[in-house]
Structures are given as structure tokens and as C-alpha cells.
Structure 1
Amino acid sequence: MENNIIEIKMKTNTIKRVGRSDFVNMGPIRLRQPLPTQQIEMIDPFILLHHYGPYTISPESNPFDLGPHPHRGFEPVTFLVQGEQLHRDSLGHESVVKAGDVQWTTAGRGIIHAEGPTKEFVSKGGTIEGIQLWLNLPEEKKMIQPNYQHAKSEEFEVVSSPDNKVKTKIVAGSLNEKQGKIVTQTSVNAFMIEAKQGGTETVHFTSSHQGMLYLLKGKVRVNNETTLELNKNQLVYFNQDGDGFKIEAENNSLLLFLSGEPFNEEVATYGPYVMNTQTELLEAMRDYQIGKMGFLPVS
């Protein structure tokens, strides 16, 4: 009865735009890029979303191995869906990220990191798949001390739907009075939602946030009006006019929900840097070249 009362009172967010997740080439890597696109430039504070894989990894083929590279002014986040990756950075961190884990890097004033399948994973072979998210930092936090967080899959709180067919993993933020494992610099939610066929769930988030829902696999009906499925529409961008959204899984599905307080600031990007002005971008390039972001040798 209590769940029915909650659903009746909840006003669902209307859908602002539905987006595709087409393939793009990033150097030798081919991956999906639902954000940004020609239709959706940015969902403040989210700058970029890459869905990489599934790639078949073997000693003869290892397309996803990113050597040392810098970042400044934002938070690069990895949600690993399948496989195993090694993270190394100029702060001295080295950790193996496994399926279901999340690594949350706060680049701040500058960090150099590298990631790719572990040597052991390449040797035995397997499949790797994940999400790379760029979460912006507000102007007053762009030059904070860099930091790295690695949270394991089993460490996250999980919210189950009334029918027990939908499990929502709380990576960051809060849902139904449960808190995410990741400590965030800004007001943000990040939930990984796994739904079995026929499962339904209502997910709440504050109307002060901009929110989006991205489908990694399966087929899902959103708010009884829009269907998300692979190779068609995979992203929903919500208006800030409700208390949340409803999903019904037509197939076994996996989705990522993100919401955050928009900054409404100027954004300047170039390569691996996200700042507020072109001058700050030039300063970032200079600081990297003279070693102010630290050093990380090639493994």
C-alpha cells in the first residue's frame, strides 16, 4: 500500500529530448558517444559520455589500452561493466578495477593516469566493456587537489523494486535514504540499474538536478511513453519538472542514471582539459608540459 501511495503522489519528469548513441572513432578505438551529439551538446554538469566495448581482448588484439595522459578541471569516471582494468596515476595509486566496480578520479588542478586491461586479462583473453563519464567541476573547484576513489561492486548500497526484478546500485548521491559509496565534490547522483524482463521501478530525484537515463543493453519503456533500445534511441534527457521517472523492462536490461546540479557556467574544452576560459586551457597545456601535473612512466 505504501509503495502505491508514493507512486500516485509522484509527478514524473517530462522528457526534454531522446538521443541516439552512435559510434565514433577515438584514435584506434571505436565506441558509442551519446553525449555530446549534434542534438545534445551538454547536460550540465555532464560533459561527455562514452560507452566503450564490448571488445574481445586477447594477446593478438587489445584495442583498449590508454597510456599515460593528463586531465584538469573535471572528474573522469569509469563504470566497468565487463572485464578487468588496471588504473595507475601520478598520485601513486595503482588498482585493478573489476566488473561492477567504479573508479572516480577528481582531476582538479591536474593528474596523469593510465588505464587498460591487466596483463593477466590480456593473456587469458575475455571481454571488456564500460562507461567513461566526464563530470564537470565548478569554477571554484577546478584547481583543487586531485584525488582518486575506487569502489568495489559489493560495497554499493542497492535498492530493490517492489517486484524484486529491478536492482538499483547507488554509486553516488542518495536514493530512498540510502547513500552512495563515492564522496562527491558537487550535488550529483549516479545509479546503475539492472532490470529483469517485466520488472518495473520508480526512481526519484530532485527537480533541482538535470537528469538523464542511458541504456547499455536490453529494452526499456520510460514513463509509459518512450522506448529505449540498442542501436535506436538509448538516452533520455529529462526536464526539471517532476520528482523522478518510471521504467518497465521489456527485456533484461542495464541502464545508467545520472543527475546533477547544473553550474550554468562558461565551459571551455580542449583535449583532456575542461576549464572556463581559453586562457585557462593554455595554462593547463603549459603546466602539463613543464611537469606541474606530475609524472607517470609508461608501464
Structure 2
Amino acid sequence: MKLNTIKTIGRSDFVNMGPIQLRQPIPTQHINNIDPFILLHHYGPYDISEQNNPFDLGPHPHRGFEPITFLIEGEQFHRDSLGNESVVKAGDVQWTTAGRGIIHAEAPTKDFVKKGGTLEGIQLWLNLPAEKKMIEANYQHVKNEDFRVVSSDDGKINIQIIAGELDGVYGRIQTQTSVNAFILDVEVGGTFNINVPDSHQSTIYLLKGDVSINDSETLKLNKNQLIAFNQDGEGFSIKGNEASKLLFISGNPFNEPVTTYGPYVMNTQTEIMEAMRDYQMGKMGFLPAN
């Protein structure tokens, strides 16, 4: 395999978002976005209890992209203006296509808050191309046990195929564009070569642990946690230096202008103004506070 060379190595520093602190590897001062991915938030691990529950996101709108949650640990309750209500548990993925507009709310479940525990996850914003920004909104929730898995020959790396395809194994999520999303669980000494379509921009992000990429760069918590690759090879190699968990994402870049404001991702400032107006007029639906 011809390995993709490394384009960018990024940190995952903490930022403040209201009452909570979370890691934000995309965007940063050095990385605006990795087309088609607009934002990556790594939240937690938080110790949730009745005395401490900062991660309660009330109803808020989105338009023009796909907000995706990979829940690593804990339990969240999702509800939205389409009428969906679901309990998302550790390992589950919720993939929302905001399209022309959706309002949703997320919070740890009441039972989880009462018994207490650790909450951790990834919030990823996947852009939609201009021709699909105003499609009907949709919501997908796939449980951890329903995802297919690709394993290394030594059994020390297991790759959960969330969306897209790896080695002939396909994800359960139906996507609007050509995109891959995998969760990797890596044991010490495990090695694997991951194939990446040459049309995709690709990125790997470390949630915990220590791994070597292409036998040349190391990803380690609180140091470098993200690598973006050039589109000049067939994939990359990974080796576990300790027990690790990572998110791999790749997709066809759109090469379109991107304009963002709060919860909206559009192509022009005029479209942002239209989104704000449509939300205020109730065109994105309605979701009560409780």
C-alpha cells in the first residue's frame, strides 16, 4: 500500500462553551475546516450527577449540514421537531440530517443523572453540498451492537463501520454524500492498514491512548490528537502503543464557499439571514422546552 502523506497535525485544546469545557480540534487557529467536515467537538468525560449536570442542551435549531453524535460513554436523551424521541447509549450513533431545518434537544437521561456516571462523546458537523442544503430533515439512530466490525488479523484492532465502507463491509448509516466514519478500538501492539478512497479528504482523531500513524507520527492525549492526510496514497497504517480509541472520518470535499453563524452552515450570508428568519417564523418546526 502506498501510504497517504500527512498534511496537518493538530492539537485538541479545551474551549469554553457556556457552562461546559470541551476539546475542539476543528476549527482551530491553524485548521479552519477539513472539507466536508466543519466542526469536531470532543466533550467529556464529565462526571454527571444530580448535583452536576452541565450538559443539558435545550431546544435549538440547525440548517444546512448534518450534526452527528458518537456517544462514547454514558446515556443521552434525544428529541426533535420531527417527533423523534430516543435514548442514546454508549457506543450508539445518532446521525441527524438538518437539511432545511430541524430543532432538537439533548441531555443525559433522568435515570442516568439520578444514578450518576461518566458522559463522553463526539459531536461532528458534516457539511451538505449546496444542492442538498434544503432537503427534508431526517434522523437516524443506530445502536452499538448493530454496527458491523472489521478486525485486524491479530485481533488487536477492531473497527466499527458507522458509515461508508471498509474492505467490503458497509456501515448502517445511510449518507447523503460519499463519506466514511469508523470507530477504532486498538490494543497494545495491534497493527492495521486502513484503505482510504483517493477522492476523500481524511482525518483521524484520538479520543484516548497512544498510537503511531505511518510509523512516523504519534498521537497522544493532551499532545497531538488529530492528523489530516493528503490525497496522495491509498490509506495509512496504525499501530497501538497502548489501549486506544479513535475516530476516523473521510469524505469527498465539496470545494464550495462556507458561511456559518451559530447553528447554521450555508453558502452565503443571505442564506444565513434566511435561516434565522425561517426559524423565527416557525418554519423549522416546534419543540417545547420540556
1:240-259 matches, within 5 Å, as: 240-259=231-250
1:20 aligns with 2:3: no
Q: Report the TM-score when normalising by structure 1.
A: 0.97
1:297 aligns with 2:288: yes
Question: Which runs of no fewer than 5 residues in structure 1 stay unpaired?
Answer: 1-9
Q: Which of 233, 236, 246 is matched with 2:224 structurally? A: 233
Deviations 1:71-110 (A, max 9, x none): 0000000000000000000000000000000000000000
Partner of 1:287: 278
Deviations 1:192-249 (A, max 9, x none): 0000111111110101000000000000000000000000000000000011110000
Partner of 1:126: 117
1:107 aligns with 2:105: no
Partner secondary structure for residue 250 of structure 1:
strand
Q: Which of 256, 260, 268 is matched with 1:269 structurally? A: 260
Deviations 1:159-184 (A, max 9, x none): 00011000000000000101000000
Partner of 1:188: 179
List, as ranges, runs of 4+ consecutive aligned residues in structure 1 with deviation greater than 2 Å.
none
Q: Which of 151, 160, 167 is matched with 1:160 structurally? A: 151
1:45 aligns with 2:40: no
Identical aligned residues as a percent? 71
Structure 2 CA distance for aligned equivalents of residues 263 and 11 of structure 1: 25
Structure 2 CA distance for aligned equivalents of residues 177 and 261 of structure 1: 19
Question: Which runs of no fewer than 5 residues in structure 2 stay unpaired?
Answer: none
Partner of 1:80: 71
Partner of 1:96: 87
Partner of 1:3: none
Q: Report the TM-score when normalising by structure 2.
A: 1.00
How many Å apart are 1:298 and its aligned residue?
1.1
How many Å apart are 1:63 and its aligned residue?
1.1
Partner secondary structure for residue 283 of structure 1:
helix
The letter of the residue matching 2:121 is G
Partner secondary structure for residue 121 of structure 1:
helix
Structure 2 CA distance for aligned equivalents of residues 203 and 84 of structure 1: 30
